Amino acid sequence: MTTNQQSTLLVRLPDGYTTSILTPELEEGAVEVLNACGRWETGAPSTSLEEMRVDWSEEGFNRETDTQLVLSPQGEVVAYGEFYDVSTQHVRMFSYARVHPDHWNRGIGRYLVEWVKERARKNVPLAEEGARVVLHQGINSVNKAACELMESCGYSKVRQFYRMQIDFDQPPVEPVVPEGIVIRSLVPGQDERDAFYASYDSFRDHWGNVEEPFDEYMKKWMHFIENDQKYDPSLFFIAFDGDEPAGISFCLPYIEEDKDMGWISTLGVRRAWRKRGLGLALLLHSFNELYKRGKPRAGLGVDATSLTGATRLYEKAGMRVSREYHTYEYELRPGKDMMRQ
């Protein structure tokens, strides 16, 4: 099932190493590479086969063109690379590449970085004429070798993101909900459109956002809630002002890396309802619900220089920075920037 595709790139793999697309029989090996890297960076595995299968089955993602595995001379999966571009605008693409720590310093990471760049160039013509097109990848800041590799391959560090967490040494503070607002859980079959529109509208003001039709945005969320085993509608909270959704906090009962950590995957307030304490109320509401379910801690990811001041909000609620990630950017085509800056 392997093919040697390195002849199309200037970068060569070590002798005896071959490449393959992601096939069903190689899925477990790919996940083990991701988890070996996770254990090196954080001390814990980072994902699961079930979680990755949700990502791999998303509409628009093509295993044959968007994945690249590297196999050792013994046929073991030692690296996984992925190209991700499922938006309708095609101006902000993503890459994801990991090499098993036992196979570092052999040029495999550089090979994958260059493979993703070559793959991304094929999608540039899909973007609007004259639009700037970029490729992004996130790197855990502790992996200094990976950060240096990105820069040596022409990427620039453009943003920092934090993981923040709070430990529930005592019951969380009760939220003070703004007058006229009601926070409740999502009712399946009734509230999905309101919930995801509130998320869609809230994140228009976040760095990197690229406008896309709402129905496309909702389709991605529906794929998640229909396929991810961590989805629990009782942990998807919506703030309503009458019949109007004003904000959301979508939580998960755990993450693969830490089954004891409740996770706030998405928290946002629509522009017309900001500066009234609703963001803090949604956050504290989430803390209390996760605490009631026996979670000793909760976490979330945030833009370190959030345009909406999210980092300050989370610090006010008692959260602290526990990890830092760098976002690296490679410009595929200059032009008019369609990303929110």
Q: Do 196 and 111 fall into the same domain?
A: no
Q: Do 73 and 211 fall into the same domain?
A: no
Residue 339 DSSP code: S
**Domain presence at residue 152:** no
Predicted local distance difference test score (pLDDT) of residue 209 = 87
CATH number of the domain at 109, please: 3.40.630.30
127, 156, 174: which is the final residue of a domain? 127
Least confidently predicted of 90-94, 186-190, 241-245, 310-314: 310-314
Q: Do 229 and 299 fall into the same domain?
A: yes
Answer with the residue of higher pLDDT: 223 or 11. 223
Residue 338 DSSP code: -
Tally of structural domains, the chain: 2
DSSP line for 21-33:
---GGGHHHHHHH
Q: pLDDT of 10-68, one tens digit each? A: 789 999 999 999 999 999 999 999 999 999 999 999 999 999 999 999 999 999 999 99
**Domain presence at residue 150:** no
Q: Do 170 and 48 fall into the same domain?
A: no
**Domain presence at residue 138:** no
Q: Do 211 and 320 fall into the same domain?
A: yes
Give the position of tokens 């089954």. Answer: 259
Predicted local distance difference test score (pLDDT) of residue 2 = 37
> What proportions of the chain, in percent to the nearest 5, are helix, strand and coil?
35, 30, 35
Give the position of tokens 């609007």. Answer: 128
Q: In angstroms, what CA-CA distances link 176 with 31, 145, 182, 285? A: 42, 45, 11, 9
Q: Do 20 and 101 fall into the same domain?
A: yes
Domain containing 44 equals 6-127
Residue 170 pLDDT greater than 70, yes or no: yes
Least confidently predicted of 70-79, 187-196, 201-210: 201-210
**Domain presence at residue 339:** no
